Chains A and B, each alone.
Chain A
Amino acid sequence: MAVPAQYYLLLSAAIFCIGLFGVLTRSNALIFLMSVELMLNAANINFVAFSLQHGNLTGQVFALFGMAIAAAEVAIGIGIILVLYRNFSDVDVTKATTMRW
């Protein structure tokens, strides 16, 4: 194999952490969604890389499921952000504070 497996792990861990950093620091709901996508796709990198490493297709199949579910999640997320915008005239997640945190 051309690239050793641990480099894929490093890459996916880096992407996961970038996503997590975005989740924790950004207040724009759309950027938040993109960050979550990064985290989900970090998992997909692992699945595809180790599917090749282990020589079975389980990981690739899971990656397909993962992408489909991520798409569904974004669809719901965009819907919620839309009603957020209608009610609060903003997509800032820190602005919606009618309840005590």
Chain B
Amino acid sequence: MVDPTWLATAPALAFGAAALVLLLADSVDPDTTNATVLGGIAVAGSLVSLAAAVYLLYGGVGIPTGQGGTGPAVILGGQLVVDQMALFFMTITASVTALVTLASVDYVREHAYQAEFYSLVLLSATGMSLLSAANSLATAFVAFELVSLPSYALVAFLKKNRGSVEAGLKYFLVGAVSSAVFAYGISLVYAATGVLRFDAVAMAIESGTVRTVVDGSVQAQASGASVPMSILGMGIIMIIGGLAFKMAAVPFQFWAPEAYEGAPAPISAFLSSASKAAGFVLAFRAFAVAFPIDALAGSGAVDWFVVFQVLAIATMFIGNFAAATQETVKRMLAYSSIGHAGYVLIGLAALSATGDGMAFSMSAGMAHLMVYGFMNTGAFLFIALAEYWGVGRRFEDYNGLGKQAPVACAAMTVFLFSLAGLPIGGGFFSKFYLFQATLNVSAWSLAAALVINSALSLFYYSRVVKAMWIEEPTGERTIESYPTGLYTAIVAAAVITVLLIPGFGYITDVAFRAVELL
């Protein structure tokens, strides 16, 4: 057991502490633009968070004491629970944040507000880590907003750049509406069940009567009122809506291409990898724990896996077909990230009506998010590198880049082929695992959508690869410097993407056990 128990949230605390240190450094010396110190604090905070998450994950926090673990760390009367699932996602968040902050050192080097930039990134990462551990709709909502609010400011960070401001505006507008929808959904679930803690909500649904929490234990309400299933179902649908925004899935995907295209590229990497994973961890936990599929089946509330099936298929097709028609590389990656949200949604959709296959499909989704965290972050960081060099935005502008920057282009090739699902990176295995999950429950439509879209995605990803390696450069382009931070981050992401081929079995084992222990 971690002693004291709250120390189990160390991955989140490390982010929060580093953010405060940055604000302190900024108030001591407001005019400093010392990128090495400010970026160093941010990278150090992320690495401490990563080390803490991996240490606790290996230490067996969340595994019952009988099986060699130390049991889940239950904090604040069950509002937060640090278990294997939480630590798995804290590891993803910390890895992505470390890569993004490392790459940002070069990207925002000349900028006047670096301390604010890094502290906003770290505060958002704090929210993501907390969201992984949220075990109540109340903490989930607060953590959800802690992720969102700094990221609105980050997208609009280049405040003299019209694209960045426009992106921030659109991200904020869609985000504000979806968080209101999310809050209203939570209020309906509370109205129906009388509780917000996930396990208590589940008990209310299973017993069919309103519950209340007294001194941490869930009890029946004195009135004995029954749970109105129609209100509950409405609430669940609205919660799915709020989560879809965070995942960048249909129907709240409109913001994603705008926000990713206009935002500074490291922030696009951060949002499309870590923020998406944060949305999914909340969905996994809420729908595995709070809304048990077997108790809801036939209750008249909502069969949520059917909703997720529709969303998954729609998201895959919209994301991938839109990506195939793009002219700019960053926007293509933005749409492809919507498509990947559709793949991960299979984790919540490839279930039978009684919930069979949940552990397998959810762990496939988790494994895909882990691989995606590295390959997608790497791809967006390559865009950051291209922006740093002043290479244009269109596919043609990348012509012949492979001759001038072979290392970075080789890494980008790994990312793109892995995203497409070729066995050059972990992306092949995670997609294959998702495919198996769909076959396990005979969800043929999901399986077909996955295969069709993967094949299509190979087409538009290889356009970039072709431009980089095969095409001759059209105009004059001189690359003056090779920024160390960006290069380190890109190469590290590429190496881990490749290492996830042999390491994939281990990732799925951890993910499978994490879901089983929920």
Contacts and interface: CB of A to CB of B under 8 A. Distances in A.
B180 A43 contact: yes
B149 A72 contact: yes
Interface in A47-74: 47, 49-50, 53-56, 58-59, 61-62, 65-66, 69, 72-73
Instruction: Tell me the dominant secondary structure on chain B's binding face.
Output: helix
Given A36-B177, A39-B181, A80-B152, A59 B169 contact: no
A50 B166 contact: no
Given A40-B180, A43-B184, A77-B176, A61 B258 contact: no
Given A77-B176, A99-B262, A42 B184 contact: yes
A58 to B, nearest CB: 6
B156 A101 contact: no
A46 B191 contact: yes
Q: Most chain-B Cβ atoms within 10 A of its Cβ — which of A5, A43, A87? A: A43
Interface string B165-190: 11111101100110111011011101
Given A33-B176, A80-B156, A96-B166, A73 B187 contact: no
Contact of B177 (A39, A43, A72, A79): A39
B187 A99 contact: no
A39 B180 contact: yes
Nearest to B152: A76
Contacts of A55: 212, 221-223
A12 to B, nearest CB: 7
A96 to B, nearest CB: 4
Nearest to A38: B180
Nearest to A20: B177
Contact of A73 (B165, B176, B196, B231): B176
A76 to B, nearest CB: 5
Interface in B95-141: 138, 141
Nearest to A39: B180
A92 to B, nearest CB: 11
Given A76-B172, A80-B169, A96-B166, A69 B213 contact: no
Interface in B149-168: 149, 152-153, 156, 159-160, 162-163, 165-168
A36 B180 contact: yes
B210 interface: yes
A46 B194 contact: no
Contacts of A30: none
B176 A29 contact: no
A58 B213 contact: yes
B330 to A, nearest CB: 11
A98 B328 CA distance: 14
B142 interface: yes
Contact of A46 (B156, B166, B188, B213): B188
B141 A65 contact: yes
Interface of B: 138, 141-142, 145, 149, 152-153, 156, 159-160, 162-163, 165-170, 172-173, 176-177, 179-181, 183-184, 186-188, 190-191, 194-196, 210, 212-213, 221-223, 231, 254, 258, 261-262
15 contacts: A32-B173, A53-B191, A59-B190, A62-B138, A65-B142, A69-B145, A80-B152, A83-B159, A84-B166, A87-B165, A93-B169, A96-B166, A96-B169, A96-B170, A99-B261
Interface of A: 5, 9, 12, 16, 19-20, 23, 29, 32-33, 36, 39-40, 42-44, 46-47, 49-50, 53-56, 58-59, 61-62, 65-66, 69, 72-73, 76-77, 79-81, 83-84, 86-88, 93, 96-99, 101
